[in-house]
Structure formats: structure tokens, C-alpha cells
Amino acid sequence: MRIPMHRFKYTKLTKEQIATKLKAAEGGPKSASAFSNVLNGKTVKIVTQDGPTLEYKFGTNRRLTLTEGGKQISAGYGELALNQMVFFSHLIPGEQKGYNVFIDQKTNLATVFEVWTSSGIKQNAGRPNEFTLDDREVQRQIYFGHVDSGQKAPEKLHHYTNRMTGKGIHWKQDTGIETLELYVSVANTNFVELTRHIDDLSYVATSDYVLVDDRTIIYNRTECEFSGIHTCFVADLYGVKQVGVRFGFNDKDELEYYMFKGDGEVVGQLAYLENFDDHGLRPMFAPALAGAPAAGGGPAPAAPVAAAPQKGARTTYRPVRSFTHMTDEEVHQAALQRTSAFGAGAAQQAPPQAVATGNNLPFSDILVGKEFTLRFDNGGPVRDYRVKEMFKLQYRNHGDSAWRDADYRAYEGDDNLAWFSHIIADSKPRASVQVAVDFTNGLATSIESHMGTEYYGNETTYRAIFGVAEIAGLEAPLYVRHQLTDELVGHAFSWSYSDQTTSMHIYSSPHSMSWVIFTAAQALGAEWCSPCIYVKLRPGVYIFCQNEEACNGNQMIELLNTKASHDCGFTFNGGTRGVSLGVTGAIGRHIGRFDIVELYGPKTRSA
Amino acid sequence: MNNRRTFIWKFGAGASAALAATAGTAAGLPKAEAVTSDTPALRASLLEEEKALRKFHQAFEQAMDKGLHEEVIGMFADEAAEVLFNGGVFKGRNHGVGRLYRDRFPAGKTGRRMEQAPGFELTADQLHDSVEVSPDLQSAKAVFPYSIQVGMPFETETSLAAMARLHGEGVRTWWEGGVYRINYRKDVAGHWKISRLEYDTLSRADYRSGKSYAQPILVSRFATRFPEDRDGPDDLV
């Protein structure tokens, strides 16, 4: 798959189309590995807490009968075992639902996933931004229970956990599929399809984590906002093995319903920052009332009081649902009305908690009094700069006689390393540059940013160009350049923009990243992802640039100084209110690193 | 002499507790706090009403603490009731007051009790409470200290704020300490209701429970009225 998942237009499969496709799978899932036969000929009654009682009879012909609520059905099923765990999966014929059932034969405890499609679930019900989940999105509800053996019901059941938080595993399945899964949130997974996709971009899917015992975890993720496909497995963390099922519709609208085995390698562990007595026993479901927008626009209020989560509730960020499409021309017309540079700059002197960028680095006068030329490679722009004061500069294309005035902000991101930004005057589409000038080494990098992508006029496009800084007394190199780098790949930093706004960035692949929000209890919860680039300026000093694609179109361009654990930079965005260039910056903490760089890059692939 | 004063009982917190334990017995009255009154029967009634008001305020604080905002709104008198908060006046139980407690406070996670911010604590004088009941037993005034969390949703459309809202968060919170200045009056059924409540903020700090320190914080007073500000006050003061 070449088109990124967040750009792919998944078909809105109808309930009827889904029903037709599911009919073909009533015989049960497929499996590349041989099924196990632990349950052959057995009768099993599973009693769940606050959920169904499921009475199974397993035949010897990979058929089962299920009695639930007085109704009996017959279906094909698949079964795989892993240590003491036996896992089976089946659909209910004629209904768009099925069960994935995990039984611990040692304890007789069971975890049941009810899965279904065509849910009709409404989000933000009754509010202006109400929408119905796509029928193809697989829903799940987890029930904890036990196998009824006539004895007293056990008091302790399987339960939600944060024990997987921060772990990363590279899985190789018996299907030949390889995935990198970074379980950095208690409610999401940052994953990379190493074989299904060409570009090694990382994506985020909603997840649940269930603790069976100290070495055994049950996991699932649903690729909400993408194909809606569901992956569910039990993993043994001692042997790093998995057995599971994949259920849903892929990008070609084909039903994938198969079971798999896999072998994994733990690629790292980030610190998780909850209190030590917080074991993640309570699932993180979005409050039923959260996220409602203010009437007439503006930011949404926080949830008043969390209502009981509805069946299937999960913490899923669905940004594109509220992202309004604008054409290039619409954005430009808005830009003509208002193009703002550093409108919030004065707030930099306010106390940290009063502004969103309160932890930013202070602005620098490093450019004041300097005149220099930035000459970028490959016929790139050559710009002259003349800076006489702290927030105003003059620039011109080399050879032009007229200087242009521009507001700018600059930081000293490292010793004698200037990092500044300004709008390109009268540009169409509106453009800005974020420029690193190394006055020690004579190097320059410019992130050339402008409004508009092929998808949205109100998203930004950026590219890094490399060159030299020519200034009196400094000899610029001929060959040495800043360059794109993968040195940050695998690292995770929390970035505190203010004392009340912190996000953790996971630099999960050479071309993408994800960000996760902390809860008040310091658990990592809501998560999303975007493509990005990384540029190395000096050892420990990088530019990180991302656009929140198919999200809100905002661009963040930061200089990361990992020696000082601080970043500083700029935001660039546009919409109905015009185009805005702003500042941002944060205090960082290194949360850990995944050893994953070697997984990326061009691979030998079968044709 | 001010006639009204002669008919009003005024108690400090300590005196009130002592009186509550010995209500109805003149022997229990602290000499220093006793103000003249007409009859022992009136004194007893005043004491009973004061006790009732303290319970009523306790219920108010508990409802605020638990986020039971409908209960809070129900404690207000009627459309003449008003709340002064942060430079804004919210008028009418079913309008401004309802808007404040039904929309603004929940959205800002405002009103929960919390410990005082270290270094910003109210003084003993500021923590003094008092209840004054009118001799006709139909109205009263009270001052009670408070120490609460106050907040407001992030005014931003960034993804970070949107994601935080998924957790029921996305709110900038801080601590405020001060005194409630409350006017009460009885409704037709004889129940105490709040006719006017003022949050008289004496101290505020950037502080959340669990932090080891607090810092000063600047909070803008209301500058926009309803309906321009959909959760805003009816008037500015």
C-alpha cells in the first residue's frame, strides 16, 4: 500500500455489503499454521461479569454450537493455543458479530471479546458535530469471566493493565506479515506495517490491554479512522510469542478473517510515569459527554461529568471528522485578510502557566547587527539578510535591489546557532521559512513552508533545503552540509509546553512520529500520528518538522537540543481566520528509546 | 443604637459550634459574642436557623465537590438570585446562575474543594466564618471561607487540547481561596435559599494537589457578557 492510511479514501461499505462479505466467513477463520484441538469434543460454559453467558459445545469437525440467551447457533471456528491459553474465534451466522474468546486453562478464567460491525454508534449524539461510526469499523466489548465448573465463581478475574505501557515489540507472523508495535499508551498503539506498506509510516490505533498473569497479556487494536480492521491476540512475554486473529476489511474492501501465530522481539521499553501504585486497572474510555464543541465554534468545553461509557466505548481521536476542507484560493483569500506573524509574541513575558508556550526558550538577539547571505544547494534560493533589531529583519533574493521587511523571532538553539522564522512577503500561497544558521560552521538549513497540500488548502507543505551561510570572517564549507537523519528514530521525549500542557513525542520511524497526551494521573492516553522529517544540525541538535495531516493541518517546526532537553520553534497554519506564524517551545524529558532504526529503509521484497 | 443590630445574632465559628451543642440553653451562650435580643425563644430560634444554614452551606459545598450542579442550582432562590464570580454577575436561577453552574463550572472543573496552596494560605482572620440571621427569621447573611479548584478549558483548537478533552481534561486549573459572602432568604415553603452569593477571592495560585509548591497566577476577569460569551455573565462589575 502506497497511499498513506490517513489519506486513503476507504469505501463506506454498507451494512448489506458487509453482511454479504461476512457470510463467506461463517465457516470460521483461516490460519497459516495448523489449528490446535484443545477444545475438540468439549462443552464449556463461560460466565462473564456484566456480560453474556456463553455455552459452547465443540465438535470434532471444527464446528461449534453456541447457546446464548436461549438462542442456539452453529458456526465454524478456529482455535490456537499458547502455553496454558487457548484462544478461539467465530462469527454468529446471519449477524454481524462474533466472539474472540481467551481461556486460561490453568485458572479457568476467560476474557471474551464481542466484536461487531455496522454498529450505528453515534458520537457526540445530539450535538452539532454528531456523526455515526463507519459500518466497516469493527467494534469490541470486553467481558471478563470464568469457565463455570460448578464451583464458586472466582473473585479475581483478568483485568485491564498498564503493564504493557511503553513496551515495543517487532512481530513476525506466520503469514509473513511484520509489524512494529509500540504500546506507548494505555489506550492506543503506535504501529508500523513493515511489510504491508511501502513507506514505513507509523499510525495509531485504539487498543486495550488485559493482564492474564505476569507473562501473559491479551491485546487488541482497531484501526479506527482507517480501514476499521481489528487485530486481537494473546502474547507470552517470556517467549515473545503470540496467537491471535485479524478481522475486518482491508483497503481493497476484502474481508480479512484469519488467525495467526507470531514470534516477536522486544525492541525497547519507555518509562511509564504513573504512580507506582497505579496498575491501570480502570480502562481509559472517553467520557460519553466529552468533546462537544462550543455552539458557534470555538474550543469545546471539557466533559462535565463522565457518564457511564456506552457499549463499545473507547478513546479514539477522530480529528479529520472536524477538519473543514478549504481550497487553496479560500485559504489565500483568508490570508489576504489576515496574515499574522508572532501575534502572541508579547505573551512570552507572561507567566508560564498563562500561555501555551510558557516553557519556550527566550528570544535571542543573535542576529542583531549581522548581514549574511544564505546560499542553498541545487539551484535553491539565495537570500540576503540584514538584521538591525531584535524582532525586525530585512531580506531579499540575492541580486534584487529592494529589501523586504519582515517580523521575525530568533532563538539561539545551540552555541552560535541561530534559529529564526519569518513570513515570505506577498507570497501566494502564503509561505514562511524556518531557518537554522550555524555561524560557527557556516551551514544553513531552511524549512520552506507554504500553505496547501494536494488534499487541503488549509494544510501546509514543507521541505528542508540545505546550504551555507556566507558572512564576513567565516569560510563556508563546500561539501559539508546539515542533512536528514534517523538519529532520533526510536527516541521518545515528553515535551512540556507549559506546566499544564505536555505531550510525548515518539519518533517512531524515519518519516513519521506520534504524539500522546498525558492524563491528570500521568498515564498516556489519547494518541495520534503524522509524517515528519528530522534534520541533524550538530551532535544532539536537530530540526523536527511535522504537519498534523488530515488532522488540523498545523505545522510544527522545532529545533531540538537534546543536550539541554529543550526545544524551541515555530508553528505555521492557516484557515478561515487567515494564516498565522507563531512560536512554540517546551522543556523535554527523555522517556526512553526503542532500538528500531535497523527495521527501516529499503528492503528486499518478494515481487 | 442601630435597632437592627439589636435583633441580630452574630457568631464566630467557635462560638457557633459551642452553641450548636447547647442550643436552646441560655447558659451556653458565650458572653463575648452574645448580642442583645428580645426573648429566649427568639434566641433559640435564631440558633436553630443558624444551625440550619450551616448545614445548608455544608450541603452546598458537598454538592459542589461532587459536581452535583443541578443540586447546587436548586439551592438558589429564584430568578432574582445572583452570583458574583470573577468580576461577573450571573443572574437568575434558571438563566445566569444555571449557566454558571451547569456549563461554566463543569467545563472548568471549578468548585471542587482542595487544600490551600502552600505559601498562599488564608490568614486566620480570613478563615473566620459568621452567620447573621434576621429577627424575622426570613433572611440571613453569612460568610464562609472556601478553598477550591478553579479552571477554564484551554482556549485553543490544537490537537493537544482536543485529545485532552477525550480524557475529560483539556482544562487549565488553579487554586483559589477566599470567602463566600452569601445572602439567604426563605422561600414560600420555609426553606432556606441562596439569594446572592459572592465569591470573594482573597488568594489564588497556580497549584494542583500533589504539587510541592505554588506560584502566582494571573487570571483575567470576565470581559465579555452573555451571549457573546456563551457561558459568560449577565453583567460585569
String of DSSP letters for A121-140: PEESTTSTT-EE--TTSPEE
Q: Does A143 score more than 50 pLDDT?
A: yes
Interchain proximity B173–A319, CB inside 8 Å: no
Q: Is A499 on the interface with B (CB under 8 A)?
A: yes
H-helix or E-strand containing A423?
A: strand A417-424
Q: Which residues of A touch B166 (CB under 8 A)?
A: 286, 290-291, 315-317, 517, 525-526
Each residue's pLDDT tens digit, B83-109: 999 999 999 999 999 999 999 999 899
- Provide mean pLDDT across the span A27-49: 97
> What whole-number distance in Å separates Cα of residue A339 and Cα of residue A577?
9
Residues of chain B with pLDDT below 70 are 1-37
Give the pLDDT confidence score for residue A607 in this predicted structure. 54
Interchain proximity A353–B174, CB inside 8 Å: yes
Q: Is A19 on the interface with B (CB under 8 A)?
A: no
Instruction: Using CA coordinates, name the residue in chain A closest to B173.
Output: A500
CATH of segment(s) B2-236: 3.10.450.50
Give the pLDDT confidence score for residue A30 in this predicted structure. 97
Of B43, B47, B100, which Cα lies nearest the Cα of B70? Answer: B100
- Provide mean pLDDT across the span A443-461: 97
Quote the minimal CA–CA distance from A299 to chain B in Å: 6
Q: Does A345 score more than 60 pLDDT?
A: no
Each residue's pLDDT tens digit, A218-256: 999 999 999 999 999 999 999 999 999 999 999 999 999
Q: A552: helix, coil or strand?
A: coil
Give the pLDDT confidence score for residue A283 in this predicted structure. 87
Interface test mutation site (partner A, options B165, B204, B217, max chain A beta carbons within 10 A):
B165
Of B123, B136, B132, B147, which Cα lies nearest the Cα of B205? Answer: B147
DSSP notation for chain B: --HHHHT-EEE-HHHHHHHHHTTT-GGGS-TTT----S-HHHHHHHHHHHHHHHHHHHHHHHHHHHT-HHHHHHTB-STT-EEEETTEEEEIIIIIHHHIIIIIHHHHT---B-PPPTT-PPPTTTT--EEEE-TTSSEEEEEEEEEEEEEEE-----HHHHHHHHTT--EEEEEEEEEEEEEEEE-TTS-EEEEEEEEEEEEEEB--TT-S--B----PPP-S-TTTSTT--SEE-
> How big is chain A, counted in residues?
607
Whole-angstrom CA distances from A400 to A395, A465, A472 are 10, 21, 20
Q: Is B154 on the interface with A (CB under 8 A)?
A: yes
Q: Does A350 score more than 50 pLDDT?
A: no
- Cis peptide bond N-terminal to B118, omega within 30: no
Residues in Cβ contact with A250 at an 8 Å cutoff, skipping those fewer than 6 apart: A227, A229, A256
- Angle in degrees, CA A197, A202, A205, rounded to 5: 105
> What whole-number distance in Å separates Cα of residue A607 and Cα of residue A548?
33
Give the pLDDT confidence score for residue A506 in this predicted structure. 98
Arithmetic mean of pLDDT over chain A: 92
> What whole-number distance in Å separates Cα of residue A40 and Cα of residue A605?
39
Q: Which residues of A touch B167 (CB under 8 A)?
A: 284, 286-287, 290, 315, 517, 519-520, 525-526
Confidence of residue A14 (pLDDT cuts 50, 70, 90): very high
Between B18 and A397, residue with greater pLDDT: A397
Q: Does A298 score more than 70 pLDDT?
A: no
Instruction: Using CA coordinates, name the residue in chain B closest to A515.
Output: B160
Give the pLDDT confidence score for residue A31 in this predicted structure. 97
How many CA atoms are closer than 13 Å to the CA of A266, on its beta-carbon side? Answer: 13
- Name the least confident of A71-75, A500-504, A555-559: A500-504
Select the residue of A305, A354, A526 nearest B167 (Cβ to Cβ): A526
> What whole-number distance in Å separates Cα of residue B32 and Cα of residue A49?
63
For residues A505 and A492, the answer to whether their CB atoms sit within 8 Å is yes
Beta-sheet pairing, B82-85 with B192-205: parallel
DSSP notation for A178-244: EEEEEE-SSSEEEEEETTT-SS--EEEEEEEEEEEETTEEEEEEE-TTTT--EEEEEEETTTTEEEE
Q: Does A457 score more than 90 pLDDT?
A: yes
B7: left (phi over 0), alpha (psi -120 to 50) or beta: alpha
Secondary structure of A270-297 in the HEC alphabet? CCCCCCCCCCCCCCCCCCCCCCCCCCCC
